[in-house]
Chains A and B, each alone.
Chain A
Amino acid sequence: MTAVDDRPTAEIGTARRRKEDRRLVTGRTRWTDNIQLPGMLHLAMVRSPFAHATINGVDTAAAKAAPGVIAVLTGSDIADIQGVNITAWPISPDQKTPDHLPMPLERVAHAGEIVAVVAARTAAQARDAAELVDVDLEELPAVLDLKRAATDEVLAHPALETNKSAFWQLDSAAQGSGGDVDEAIATARESGIVIEREYRQQRLIPAFMEPRSTVVDPTGEQVVMWSATQVPHVLRFCIAATTGLPESKIRVIAPDVGGGFGGKLQSTPEEFVTLAVARTLGKPCKYTETRSETMVSAHHGRDQWQKLTLAAEKDGTVTALKVDLMADLGAYAAIVGGGVPVLGAWMFNSIYKFGAYQFNCTTYYTNKTWVDAYRGAGRPEATYAIERLMDELAAEVGVDPLEIREKNWIGHEEFPFTTVAGMTYDSGNYEAATARAKELFGYDELRAEQQRRRESGDPVQLGIGVSTFTEMCGLAPSRVLGSLDYGAGGWESASIRMLATGTVEVVTGASAHGQGHETAWSQIVADRLGVPFESVEVLHGDTQIAPKGMDTYGSRSLVVGGEALVRAADKVIEKARPLAAHMLEASVDDLEFTEGRFTVKGTDKGVGITDVALAAWTGHDYPEGVEPSIDADATYDPVNFSFPHGTHLCAMEVDTETGATRMRTYVCVDDIGTIINPLIVEGQVHGGLVQGIAQALWEGAEYDEQGTLVSGSFVDYTLPTSADTISFVTDHTTSPSTSNSLGTKGVGEAGTIASTPAVVNAVVDALRPMGVDDVEMPCTPERVWKAIRSGGGTQHADTTPAQQAHFDEGAPNQDPAAGTTDGVVQ
């Protein structure tokens, strides 16, 4: 009993070190690329260097003759079995969606598309032979810039006759959740304040740590695919839906996966080509990409223009927001595709209450790498826009940015609150989080220092950035997804197997790729069933072991999968109850279950749940009408999203001589509901912050005029390291979610969503006295310096805050082609 006595009284809330970290950190585990199978062949891909080209022919003769080569295949060789990379979310009934073949036969639509594949005995032989494949590509005109794509002068897919994929709108008046947005804006033009801005969400590259890798073994009754994916269950569905293989003949395994950030939420050409080659040759095949291939072929994130009109009364009370979004899908509609920008529709109104709202989103194709989910997916873009606008409004009204937010946010006494976008927020306390953040930050002292530096003309100016945010987590109620024509549900599944020898197997459909599910799930089960943390084994990521699941993304695992787990655990207890009563010769009604034991009320008689499990397993003596098992499954479909929120405060020093920026202080106070493991939460917040800060300051995927990804390696795609960041100050306030039993809200994306506007707001705040009201992301030193020199931001050089240019017909901002950058945004 000593082991049990050493346990913390409650696992939930304990900062357990992660039980999976020893194997993950040392790498001594089953990453896909570590898998070796007898007779396995290695693949190398031949990719298009051109953004848009006709495939006239592929000469494979020299490659086929190279040492160790078994086969060289082109699109036509696998045409019947290669399947299609589908989109699961057509955002409108008339969405235009080009076919996305894993290996196209006739035409490539972005640089990096696969045009041939070599299978050889070794990876080196495959790579050597791939260099010998002679592909005859005839270049076609390519459209690279989003705004230029909107003009349809050059078509990404000529057969579609337009680059426009779809249009999607949410209108508060039309859906009855608010008033008429144009009316409110017209009123504000007469007698209030109208803030109009256009913001750029640059293209980002997810840059997960483990490159993607796939192994396919076609030699058994079932085809087995190991893949470095976030979504083994979704992937199996996609394969079954498009390749002709029955779903029951496909087993997909995501072994340990080294990160994803949304970048592995996909059914990829590489997976499908590997499957097709393995089936064609009847041999196990492995494909592991290089980092250079990741950069051009794994989906990118963001890439939007946001045109925003905020209406307010003179005192700063917001009355309406209108959003016109252009989203670049890249060459194809990816699995979530146009749905990613649409996810922002419910978040542009954020924590604020105002009367009228309209969200318009148009998606376009270009001849660039496809775009899909990246940490936050739609919500960082929305949060950025509204939080930048609130700072602009504060400047216009002449009050502190926190004051303008407080005037407009939902008071803690107003929850549950239905927003102008139609979402019902269950809980929150923006006042408490903001008060705590201000205290930790030393807000007033930093404002005083800012004032001193301004007055003394210090070459290093100080800026303070605010970001108060909320997000919708826990994707997603299946009925909501159905109403949006999303191609799947949002439920999650869990099973608990009570083993005869006292340990517990937990099966979850949420496939972790670094989040720490094994630890957190063990803590939940340990508390619920009263078994030791160490006795719980969490199994996931294999469609044969965990047959039901919707996988891991959108901060859903704990909120949805955790609730499924709680329900499965409760079923275990209920199934154990009659067996325990039988063992104790007591009535079921007289039993109490606490800390892993059934006891008979008012006596010292009791039996542990693991003893009940053993009794069920032997089956020697159990009551009539009861099955000899206490194992249980649960599938949980969420009733609502969850809504974490927080206040982030950032102080940036800006060197006005060089444009260099330096973070001075970063404080965030997040309300993510009940915390299962504070250490895991801390890790998620820190990592998320850095990713969001990186969008503000460092990262950006840039193409040249030929459609070549200029930032195609980590030399030019400047990811930060720990040397570039500071120690963050993090804290939490807690208002538990009311929509799940644990009260959890989700934390996977919070840092990323909140930090980007906090940083940019701080940079702009430092420079506002110089007439700067915007710096385009990433806020490179060069951009900051040029903004200072032009004294008016990167977009609004000739306007003053009192005379903002309006998006009227004929005005510069109204022309869809205006401001195009020929691919390279400088």
Chain B
Amino acid sequence: MIPAAFDYVAPTSLEDALAALAQAGDDAKVMAGGQSLLPILRMRLGAPETVVDLGRIEALRGVRDGGDHLAIGAMTPYSDVVADPLVAEHAGLLARAVETVADPQIRHRGTIGGALVHADPAGDVGAPVLALDATLVVVGPGGERTVPAAEFFRNLFETAVGDGELLTEIRVPKHTGWGSAYEKFVRVSHQWSIVGVAAAVRVDGGSIAEAKVGLTNMGSTPMRATAVEQALVGKDDSGLADACAAAAEGTSPPSDLNGDADYRRHLATVLTRRAVRSAMQ
């Protein structure tokens, strides 16, 4: 389908991008890969006057070692995140989750920052970023600020990134030596998650010393299964099922063609157990 007409700006620096956003005013949309935005425009579910494409800002791409954390440029494509050796070593959970996104074509176009700001609760990037206690760097006319992941996701398709602002970097604390797994439940491979569970664990002497669990599509934003995280501490394999039973506590999953809310709650407990077990190995 053909989108409504819009002005297209493709700045090559962050400063130019912010200026373009400021100039375009309220009715601008940022394109960061376009894998969600273009279908929205083409189906005329949205008709911004200006599209600011961040695709030519090289500075926003790539993974950097920031000492105690990894600094991932917001415009780093999914496929680069999956292939990056630093991510594999220090933030394996992110790679495990991102490699399940859609299909190879989309993973080469779509970006990690674009997905986070789009904030589709069925997207696979939010849960691991939340679980790994990442910090998000947001730049706007007033300068740079950092937002903890726990405060980043506000609601369905709504984040802490305000009008005229851009997400520039995702800082993921190093989880070197942690085991991780992402259990994505879908009917067909390229589908959005029906439910997804991101789990990272630090195992010490056969039992869990520390656990982090994020949930995909169990509410209007990605969620942390904090009760499970606490219950898992000190558990070995035999204690997993009990510790994961509360995975759906406090969630409010949707009901749709893929399953009702009760079914999703059930899936969350099963998938959490499986993700944690897999992360321990």
- Min distance, Cβ B230 to any Cβ of chain A, angstroms: 24
Digit string of A539-568 for contact with B (CB within 8 Å is 1, else 0)?
A: 000000000000000000000000000000
Least CB separation from B271: chain A residue: A658
Assess the A718–B191 pair: CB atoms within 8 A.
Answer: yes
Assess the A124–B5 pair: CB atoms within 8 A.
Answer: yes
Digit string of B253-264 for contact with A (CB within 8 Å is 1, else 0)?
A: 000011110010
Tell me, yes or no, whether B190 is within 8 Å of chain A by CB: yes
Measured CA separation A124–B43 after assembly (Å): 13
Assess the B187–A698 pair: CB atoms within 8 A.
Answer: yes
Assess the A131–B257 pair: CB atoms within 8 A.
Answer: no
Least CB separation from A710: chain B residue: B257
In the complex, which of the residues A292, A702, A715, A723 contacts B1, with contact meaning CB atoms closer than 8 Å? A292
- Min distance, Cβ B224 to any Cβ of chain A, angstroms: 22
Tell me, yes or no, whether B117 is within 8 Å of chain A by CB: no
Measured CA separation A109–B258 after assembly (Å): 28
Chain B residues within 8 Å of A291, by CB: 1
Assess the B260–A660 pair: CB atoms within 8 A.
Answer: no
Least CB separation from A122: chain B residue: B2
Assess the B188–A721 pair: CB atoms within 8 A.
Answer: yes
Chain B residues within 8 Å of A700, by CB: 257
Measured CA separation A723–B104 after assembly (Å): 11
Q: How many residues on B have C-beta within 8 angstroms of the other chain's C-beta atoms?
A: 24
Least CB separation from A459: chain B residue: B270
Least CB separation from A655: chain B residue: B270
Instruction: Tell me the A702-750 residues at the B interface (CB within 8 Å).
Output: 702, 710-711, 713, 715-716, 718-721, 723-724
Chain B residues within 8 Å of A47, by CB: none
Assess the A782–B190 pair: CB atoms within 8 A.
Answer: no
| Of A658, A660, A786, most B-chain CB atoms within 10 Å | A658
Tell me, yes or no, whether A128 is within 8 Å of chain B by CB: yes
Assess the B1–A782 pair: CB atoms within 8 A.
Answer: no
- Min distance, Cβ B51 to any Cβ of chain A, angstroms: 16
Chain A residues within 8 Å of B191, by CB: 715, 718
Assess the A782–B258 pair: CB atoms within 8 A.
Answer: yes
Instruction: Tell me the A575-599 residues at the B interface (CB within 8 Å).
Output: none
Measured CA separation A711–B103 after assembly (Å): 20
Least CB separation from B185: chain A residue: A658
Chain B residues within 8 Å of A660, by CB: 185
Q: How many residues on A have C-beta within 8 angstroms of the other chain's C-beta atoms?
A: 33
Chain A residues within 8 Å of B258, by CB: 780, 782
Measured CA separation A188–B275 after assembly (Å): 53
Measured CA separation A127–B189 after assembly (Å): 33
Chain A residues within 8 Å of B38, by CB: none
Q: Given A128-B4, A657-B270, do A711 and B188 touch, yes or no (CB 8 Å)? A: no
Tell me, yes or no, whether B44 is within 8 Å of chain A by CB: yes
Tell me, yes or no, whether B56 is within 8 Å of chain A by CB: no
Tell me, yes or no, whether B154 is within 8 Å of chain A by CB: no
Tell me, yes or no, whether A29 is within 8 Å of chain B by CB: no
Assess the B188–A724 pair: CB atoms within 8 A.
Answer: yes
Q: Given A657-B270, A711-B257, A782-B259, do A698 and B4 touch, yes or no (CB 8 Å)? A: no
Tell me, yes or no, whether A666 is within 8 Å of chain B by CB: no
Chain B residues within 8 Å of A720, by CB: 188
Tell me, yes or no, whether B266 is within 8 Å of chain A by CB: yes
Chain B residues within 8 Å of A456, by CB: none
Tell me, yes or no, whether A785 is within 8 Å of chain B by CB: yes
Tell me, yes or no, whether A290 is within 8 Å of chain B by CB: yes
| Of A700, A702, A713, A826, most B-chain CB atoms within 10 Å | A826
Measured CA separation A729–B263 after assembly (Å): 35
Chain A residues within 8 Å of B223, by CB: none
Assess the B257–A716 pair: CB atoms within 8 A.
Answer: yes
Tell me, yes or no, whether A781 is within 8 Å of chain B by CB: yes
Q: How many A-B residue pairs have CB under 8 A?
A: 62
Chain B, interface SS category? loop
Measured CA separation A123–B5 after assembly (Å): 12
In the complex, which of the residues A128, A290, A716, A718 contacts B5, with contact meaning CB atoms closer than 8 Å? A128
Assess the A781–B270 pair: CB atoms within 8 A.
Answer: no
Measured CA separation A536–B190 after assembly (Å): 42
Instruction: Tell me the A677-700 residues at the B interface (CB within 8 Å).
Output: 697-698, 700
Measured CA separation A782–B262 after assembly (Å): 10
Assess the B192–A658 pair: CB atoms within 8 A.
Answer: no
- Min distance, Cβ B114 to any Cβ of chain A, angstroms: 18
Assess the A721–B187 pair: CB atoms within 8 A.
Answer: no
Tell me, yes or no, whether B267 is within 8 Å of chain A by CB: yes
Q: Given A127-B1, A127-B2, A785-B263, do A719 and B188 touch, yes or no (CB 8 Å)? A: yes
Instruction: Tell me the B1-48 residues at the A interface (CB within 8 Å).
Output: 1-2, 4-5, 43-44
Chain A residues within 8 Å of B270, by CB: 657-658
Measured CA separation A719–B257 after assembly (Å): 14
Chain B residues within 8 Å of A127, by CB: 1-2
Q: Given A124-B5, A127-B2, A658-B185, do A702 and B266 touch, yes or no (CB 8 Å)? A: no
Assess the B189–A721 pair: CB atoms within 8 A.
Answer: yes
Measured CA separation A569–B258 after assembly (Å): 55
Q: Given A782-B259, A785-B266, do A723 and B190 touch, yes or no (CB 8 Å)? A: yes
Measured CA separation A556–B27 after assembly (Å): 56
Chain A residues within 8 Å of B190, by CB: 721, 723
- Min distance, Cβ A15 to any Cβ of chain B, angstroms: 30
Assess the A718–B188 pair: CB atoms within 8 A.
Answer: yes
Measured CA separation A542–B13 after assembly (Å): 55
| 6 closest cross-chain pairs (CB), A and B | A723-B189, A782-B259, A290-B1, A127-B2, A718-B188, A782-B263
Given contacts A292-B43, A658-B270, 20 further A-B contacts (CB under 8 A): A127-B1, A127-B2, A131-B44, A658-B271, A698-B187, A698-B188, A702-B257, A710-B257, A713-B43, A715-B192, A718-B191, A719-B188, A721-B190, A723-B188, A723-B190, A724-B188, A780-B187, A780-B259, A781-B187, A785-B263
Q: List 29 A-B contacts (CB under 8 A).
A: A123-B2, A124-B5, A127-B1, A127-B2, A128-B2, A128-B4, A128-B5, A658-B267, A658-B270, A697-B187, A700-B257, A702-B257, A713-B43, A718-B187, A721-B103, A721-B188, A721-B189, A723-B103, A723-B188, A723-B189, A723-B190, A724-B188, A724-B189, A780-B258, A780-B259, A782-B258, A782-B263, A785-B266, A826-B260
Q: Which residues of B contact A (CB under 8 A)?
A: 1-2, 4-5, 43-44, 103, 185, 187-192, 194, 257-260, 263, 266-267, 270-271
